[in-house]
Structure 1
Amino acid sequence: MTPCAYLSTPVRFLKMDSRPVQVGRGTRQFTGQFPVLEYSYVVSGKSYTSTRMFCRDSESFKVEWSKVDRFFHDAENGAEVVAWFAPSSPESACISIDAEFDYSLVSHTSSQCRAK
């Protein structure tokens, strides 16, 4: 079995807000609401708090706004959203591994890559 690059653990949202983000160039611009979060999670019995959205830092990110809308809907309605973290640094969790906004629910993550 290949070790997981990231492990997942359910989050509890402590704060959920949004900020306007404008994307596009020239006449094709779109303004959307991007999540601003604070969440807690537990790894090996220890509690952590994070505000990180992306694991990989990037100057730009790619967003499918329908995913952002679905994220707000899922999070506000109690779906079990997970945070991801490298096994060597559980204090550095994030919601989206890549600079392409995406998120996962507990029910959609491999049980092999769930934190204990």
Structure 2
Amino acid sequence: MYDLVFPALALLTIALGLFGLVAPRYTAGALDLETTRSTMGLSELRASAGGLFVAMGIVCLWTGDPGAYAMLGVAYAGAATGRLASIFIDNPPKRKAFVFFLFEAVPAAILIAPVLTNR
């Protein structure tokens, strides 16, 4: 099962990262972010919501290393943790924030579970 699911999650990661990398204005709109006063916000989106995720997904596919997939899971877990904190602290639009949380927490659980069950 992991032979199909892990690469699929890596491909999904690359696809989502490509939005941030090549379409940062679209990504900003989808995330309710505003780019004001300078284009530094676009630069940040290309880097943190784009290139970072594209690179992580590519390395997972390229190496096929379970450790790489586990670290991709850790990245998703970090994002899910931040999203959950935001839900309780920042009061974002609940439905949208919860959907984004699921898109982070589910891949995290799938990618990290094999590491936790082997120890």
Settle same-fold status: TM greater than 0.5.
Answer: no
What TM-score do you get using the length of structure 1 for normalisation? 0.29
Higher strand share: 1
What TM-score do you get using the length of structure 2 for normalisation? 0.29
